[in-house]
């Protein structure tokens, strides 16, 4: 109630100020917008407490989530993960979900498009071990001749 009385007092003060010291139309429009926004906020905070509580609770919950929440990108279409996709996912996790060449982020659901390459090619003495493999995104997989 005090905020409503304060707003009425502010409007009366502005009326007498404008009566003796005329204001530009632009300032009057801004004051009208301020009064309208104030009335809406007073209404919401006094009569719609549940809405305001839910709104601020949702904002608080959003602020607690990590910046990069990758759980929404998981494949939930019921596809069977075969051994190849599991192996690709393991390699991708080992290198921080990034392409080994360009360092771009690769989403877990896109691991099936990723290709594997040897860090040290076999003809240069590389081993046939999973530690010698690196995941490369489709853009970096192109071969230049």
Q: Mean pLDDT per segment of 10 residues, for the chain of length 145 residues?
A: 85 89 89 92 88 89 71 52 75 87 84 84 83 86 57
Q: Is residue 84 part of a domain?
A: yes
Q: Check whether residue 43 and residue 88 sit in a common domain.
A: no
* CA contacts within 13 A on the Cβ side of 143: 3
Q: What is the pLDDT of residue 125?
A: 85
Q: Is residue 141 part of a domain?
A: no
Q: What is the pLDDT of residue 80?
A: 45
Q: Check whether residue 85 and residue 106 sit in a common domain.
A: yes
Q: Check whether residue 15 and residue 44 sit in a common domain.
A: yes
Reported in sequence order, the residue ranges of 10-70 that DSSP labels E, i.e. its strands, are: none
Q: What is the pLDDT of residue 33?
A: 94
Reported in sequence order, the residue ranges of the chain that DSSP labels E, i.e. its strands, are: 115-118, 133-136
Q: Check whether residue 60 and residue 114 sit in a common domain.
A: no
pTM of the model: 0.40
Q: Is residue 52 part of a domain?
A: yes
**Given 26, 45, 64, which residue is the final one in a domain?**
64
Q: What is the pLDDT of residue 1?
A: 73
Q: Is residue 142 part of a domain?
A: no
Q: Check whether residue 79 and residue 56 sit in a common domain.
A: no
C-alpha span between 3 and 11 (Å, rounded): 12
Domain range for 82: 75-136
Q: Check whether residue 53 and residue 105 sit in a common domain.
A: no
**Given 12, 33, 64, which residue is the final one in a domain?**
64
**Given 35, 64, 93, which residue is the final one in a domain?**
64
Sign of CA dihedral 15, 16, 19, 24: negative
Q: Check whether residue 45 and residue 7 sit in a common domain.
A: yes
């Amino acid at each position: 109630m005090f905020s409503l009385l304060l707003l009425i007092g502010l409007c009366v003060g502005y009326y007498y100020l404008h009566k003796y010291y005329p204001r530009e139309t632009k300032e009057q429009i801004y004051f009208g917008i301020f009064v309208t926004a104030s009335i809406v906020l007073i209404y919401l905070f006094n009569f719609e407490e549940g809405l305001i509580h839910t709104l601020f609770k949702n904002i608080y919950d959003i602020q607690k989530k990590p910046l990069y929440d990758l759980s929404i990108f998981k494949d939930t279409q019921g596809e069977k993960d075969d051994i190849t996709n599991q192996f690709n996912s393991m390699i991708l996790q080992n290198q921080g979900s990034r392409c080994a060449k360009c360092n771009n982020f690769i989403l877990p659901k896109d691991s099936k498009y990723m290709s594997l390459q040897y860090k040290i090619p076999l003809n240069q003495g590389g081993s046939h071990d999973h530690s010698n493999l690196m995941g490369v995104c489709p853009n970096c997989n192109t071969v230049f001749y």
